[in-house]
Structure formats: structure tokens, C-alpha cells
Amino acid sequence: MALTGQDLLNAVNKAPLGQKVAVMTSVVVLLTAANWYFFIDPMQTQITQRQASLRSLEDELIQKQSIANNLAQFKHEKEILERRLAQALTELPNEANVDDLIRSLSEIGTKSGLTINSIDPQNEQRQSFYAQIPIVMAVSGNYHEIGVFLDSLSKLARIVNVTNIKMGGAKLQNDKLVVNASYVATTFRFLPEAGK
């Protein structure tokens, strides 16, 4: 036979006071535990998660406000970096521009008083993030003219290294001691695809 709610209440009413207090305490403890387990604990977990999310969003807001407050400074720094990049690209351009460099070498040689015997660009040699472009040159002139030429090369905006300098065949022409010189003028270019 099943007990109904009324039967339970009658049994509790007939029980001595100590048992009534024990039953009521048990019922209150069970209801409190159920309330905690089903309602309060999930809400507290949700509150903790939302507080963590709120702190994260507040930190992000502070960072973005800091950036917004310093926007003028960041724009100025960006302009400086862009100017430095432009300067670096003149020294180490993305493109080979060998024809322009040969024209510059020829003009500098002529202004220095040299006779340009040959300018022979070689194949590009790729390295990790740059490529070397060697140009074999042969010139004739006196020591001073060759020195002026090499000094002028050092003042170019583009990087040009001169190696393997060989001089010989000195002879007197028009009261001037002329030597034949050969060397390798190596320039460089940046390989942007290697940086990606």
C-alpha cells in the first residue's frame, strides 16, 4: 500500500517533538541542498564566467583606448618607419634595375676621367633574403681617376661593393700614366617573397 502525502503528515503530527524537529530539519536541509545544486551553483558558475569575460573585455577596452589616445603618436611613428623603409629600399631595392645601375656606373666613370672598356652584368645569385648582382667592369685611367671613381661609388644611395680589383698594364699616354683596372662591382636587391 502506497503512502500519500496526508499519511506522511499524520505520521509526523503523531510523532514526538524531537522526531518532528529532526524531520523538519532534514526536509529543510534537503530543500536547501536541492536549491543549491539545481539553482545557485549553476548561476554562480555562470556569474564567474561572465565576470571573467567582462574583465577580458575591460582589458581589451583599456588597450584600445590607449591606442586611440596615442593615435597621433602611432601615426607619426608609422610615417618615420615608412621613410626608413623608403630609404632602405634605395639601398636594397626590390627590383634589380641593372640598366639604371650600369648607366650610373658609366656616368661616374666618365666624370672621373676613366675610359670604360667593358661593363658585363652577371647572373643574379640568390641568398636567404637578398640577391647579389655582380657586374664585371674593365676601365682605363690613372690611379687618381680610379680612386675618384671608387670614392664616388661609395657615395651612391644603392649599396655597391667593389671586389677583385686588379690593376696592371701601366703605360704612358699623353704624359699620363694609364693603368688598366678590372673589378667586380656587386649590388644587391631585396627578395620580398623570401620574407613571407
For 51-61, how does the pLDDT look when each residue is reduced to its tens digit (9 = 90+)? 999 999 999 98
More confident of the two residues 194 and 18: 18
Q: Model's pTM, two decimal places?
A: 0.51
Amino acid at 166: K
- 89, part of any domain: no
More confident of the two residues 6 and 168: 168
- 77, part of any domain: no
- 80, part of any domain: no
- 156, part of any domain: yes
Name the residue with cell 620574407: 195
The overall average pLDDT reported for the chain is 82
Q: So what's the pLDDT on residue 96?
A: 58
Say whether both 126 and 174 belong to one domain.
Answer: yes
Q: So what's the pLDDT on residue 49?
A: 93
Say whether both 58 and 102 belong to one domain.
Answer: no
Confidence of residue 10 (pLDDT cuts 50, 70, 90): confident
CA pair distance 77, 80, nearest whole angstrom: 5
- 53, part of any domain: yes
Say whether both 102 and 190 belong to one domain.
Answer: yes
- 82, part of any domain: no
Chain centre distance of CA 163: 33
- 33, part of any domain: yes
Q: So what's the pLDDT on residue 55?
A: 93
What is the tens place of the pLDDT at every residue in 120-161? 888 888 877 778 888 898 999 888 888 898 898 888 877 788
- 76, part of any domain: no
Domains held by the chain: number = 2
CA pair distance 69, 63, nearest whole angstrom: 10
What is the tens place of the pLDDT at every residue in 38-91? 888 888 899 899 999 999 999 998 888 888 888 788 788 878 877 776 666 565
Name the residue with cell 644603392: 158
**What range does the domain containing 142 cover?**
98-195
